[in-house]
Amino acid sequence: MLRQVVDDLEDFDIDESKQVGQVAVSGETEIPDLTVIKFAHDLPESHPQHIALTQVFVPYVEKASDWSIRVEVYSDGELGSEEEFIQGLSKGTVEMCLGRQSLMEVYPN
């Protein structure tokens, strides 16, 4: 599955003019509705899972959504401890996270 995602990314022709934050100066400019996904984990930026998130997952989601979704990855516990960002899923302060299954069972909702 991951190999297919990587192969798909290699086929992407990224049109940087559609990226969020860049505005064309000629003609009418339509700014798409932007959905921001906060993705939290407590791994260091050098960890392979963080690297896969930032180099494979984020570009894939942003391109596949035609730049209407932006994924912000927070590493090293920037948004709190693992327990705190798992609780944040229920509160709506975090949309996605990497966490231990045992903690997911403690905070099911």
pLDDT tens, position by position, 7-32: 655 555 544 444 443 333 344 445 55
DSSP string over 4-28: HHHHHHHH----GGGSTT---SSS-
- Residue 94: Cβ within 10 Å count: 20
pLDDT at 57: 95
Q: Where do the structural domains in the chain lie, given as residue ranges?
A: 33-109
Question: Would you identify the CATH topology of the domain 33-109?
Answer: D-Maltodextrin-Binding Protein; domain 2 (3.40.190)
pTM over 0.75: no
**79 within 8 A of 85, measured Cβ to Cβ:** yes
Pick the closest to residue 109 from 83, 94, 91 (CA basis).
Answer: 91
Residue range 75-82: average pLDDT?
91
At 25 the pLDDT is 36
> Which residues does 53 contact at the CB level (< 8 Å), separation at least 6?
39, 41, 73
